[in-house]
Structure 1
Amino acid sequence: MHTKLALAVALSAVTLGVAACAAPAPAPAPSAAPSTSAMAPSPESTGTSPAAASDFALDIAGAPGRIAQAGLSVLTAEGNVDHYHAHLDLFKDGKPVTVPANIGITAGPDNRANGISALHTHDTTGVVHIESPTAGQVFTLGQLLTEWGVLGGSGAPGTGDGPLDGWTLYVNGQKRDAGIRDLPLKAHDEIVLSYGAAPAKVPAAYDFPSGE
C-alpha cells in the first residue's frame, strides 16, 4: 500500500506565487514515510494491466526526478505568460480513479512545498493547470502522466517506458485511436483515459469554474 503524501501547508504560505489558482488544502503529515515509487505493480499484476486503483497514489518525494523526466523544470512560482486549464478523468474497469492533488509540485523534508512545474494539479478535481512562463510551449498528456508516475501499466513506475496497451483515450467525448503520450493539452479539453471495461458514460465536457 502506498502512502499518499499531502503537503503540510497551502502553497500560498510559501514562495510559489499561486494567487491565480487555488492551493491544496493543509493536511497532517503521514505517519509513515512515503514510498520511493509512485505506482509499483501489486503482486497479482501481470502483463500490461495497471495495479489496483489504490496504487495510483502520488509519491511527492519522487516529484523532482519525474518532472525532469517529463522534460520540464521545477519553478519557484507559477508562470503567468500562458495560463489555461484542461480536465482529466481516469477509469479502470469502468470505475473512476482519483487524479491526485499536487502532481508537478515538489516538497522538502519538512513537507512544505518548495517548487512547482508549469504543468500541475492543485486538488483532486482532475483539473490540470498549465501556467507557463513561456509563450506557446506545448504540454502533453504524456508529460502529465510522467509527472504523476503512472505512464504505462508495467515496468518501472514513472520511467515513461511502460506500454499503454489496453488504454483507451477520449477527448471531448470522441474516441482517439492513438496519441496518448503526444496528446497536446488544450484549454477546456475534457480528456478521458480508460483501462479495461469502458465507463457506463464517457464524460464529454467539464464544468470549469468561472474564470478558469
Structure 2
Amino acid sequence: MILVVTGTGTGVGKTIVTAALAAAAAARGERVAVLKPAQTGVADGEPGDAATVARLVPGTTARELARYPDPLAPATAARRAGAKPVEPGEAADAAAALAADHDLVLVEGAGGLLVRLSDDGTLADVAALLDAPVLVVAAAGLGTLNATELTVEALRRRGLTCPGVVVGSWPAEPDLAARCNLADLPATSGVPLLGALPEGAGALAPERFAVIARHSVAPELGGGWQTPGP
C-alpha cells in the first residue's frame, strides 16, 4: 500500500505523524518505507525528515530523492540552487518501486498539498499518478479549521481520496480552540479525525515512541486511539 502524507502547511507535524504510521505498521510486522521526494532547508550530511522517521522507527527504509539547502518550496529551492527539481512522475516511480518490496510506503510531502515540487507539479499530482489516498496532517489550534477544509476540498476536486485528518502536535495544555477543534475538524472537513500526536513526541526514544504512536493514531491507521467524547 502507498499512502501520501500532506499537511495544511509547514511545521504542523507531518514527519512525526509519518513516523507514527510507520511505527504502527512495524508493530504489525510490516515492511515499511518512507519516501521524501524533496527535502529543503537541510545541508548535506544533516538528517532530513526521512532520516528522522528511520531514527524513530528502526528498520524503516528511508529514501530521499533530492535536497536543497534553502528552506523554501522545493521548486524555488531547486531553482536557487541551480539544481534539477523533482518531477511528480519521478516521485511516483520511486514510490512504486519501493512498494514492490515493502508492505507500506509513506510518501511525505513538503509543506502543504499544492506546494510546488517543480514548476508544473505538486504532491497532489504525485498522489494522482499513484492513485493513492492522501492523509492530511493539521495543526491543533486557532485557524486550523479553514486550512484543513481547504486542503480536503482541494483533494476532492482532484478526485483524490482522503481517509482523514491527524493532528500533528497536540499541546500538553490545549486551549479552548484546540479542544473545540477535536469535534469541529471532522464536522467541517467531512472526513474523520484519525489521531493526535502529543507535542514533543519526536524527541522520544524509539521504544517509547512506538508506544505513544500506537495510542495516538486510530484503528484505521493501525493504532488504538479513540476520538474523545464531548
For the aligned pair, the TM-score class normalised by the smaller chain equals under 0.3
Alignment TM-score, normalising by the size of structure 2: 0.25
More helix by share: 2
Alignment TM-score, normalising by the size of structure 1: 0.27
